[in-house]
Structure 1
């Protein structure tokens, strides 16, 4: 068998024997087969690339679902805050005047000419739409008021309508969130027990 010849790039090529032939002159003849010990890496295999892509896809899916969950929860909190601001303005009006103002719609409550805005009980320029893109609903009479947010119409796991009336908030917790302050937890055994 012929001994190995070094190629121009410095890698050893062989025709069936191992080792290097230092005493043989440099040849420009095409090599026969590359020496496996000297062969450079050729990159990733298709299987390795598929496994890496699957891992990235799983992590992306988990991250996106968590993003959607927290995004929905943030929208509920924003809707609760908006309704709370208007409700506190109505309550302050009641404390000043002994009655609630008469409003037929939520838009009338937050309008720039509203008594709530004129008396600086709520800030001007509040949005009439909830964070889900639906209009807030609301009305008030001399003795009570009711403010509503319909929730997310595109989410089947929606927590439902947020309703705020004097002294209470109902269905205000998004799925997985703790109930409002003072509300009993559903899994609390003492929730229905008298105190």
Structure 2
């Protein structure tokens, strides 16, 4: 009998908790996030200096230390191209501009060298071979020249060169930079 009485008391006590209102979650809307995108057909085939696949190498002429003896001295402007071909016809009339990025980009907008020479950066220039590209700028704010896609193709020319941050010492100079082509 006492087991039945204890069971009944336990059921009654637990049943009481079922009627206590639980804490309510906040349901007010605090804001809205809009997400926009665009689905496009395959863009273009990319070649750097005629090498397809999007990757390329620019080989600079050897620089004498005397040419890079003081900060801000430059040497060895070497042209290179980024060409897009086989573009979707919807891109005709659009501009294509590289957005440069990567771990070697420094706060001055140039590329740190991973080679053995000291006091040497690498600098990229626009097709006019005189306007430096600010590699540390945000997308659309690097001052990079663009090209217009026509007949499903476009070619952009840029220059790479040595840039002294002080009196350069002899050694190797090497760096990499990533790029993303922006079509607008």
Q: TM class, shorter-chain normalised?
A: under 0.3
More helix by share: 1
Higher RCO by CA contacts (8 Å cutoff, separation 6 or greater) = 2
Q: Please identify the structure whose Cα radius of gyration is greater.
A: 1
TM-score (norm 2): 0.18
More strand by share: 2
TM-score (norm 1): 0.18
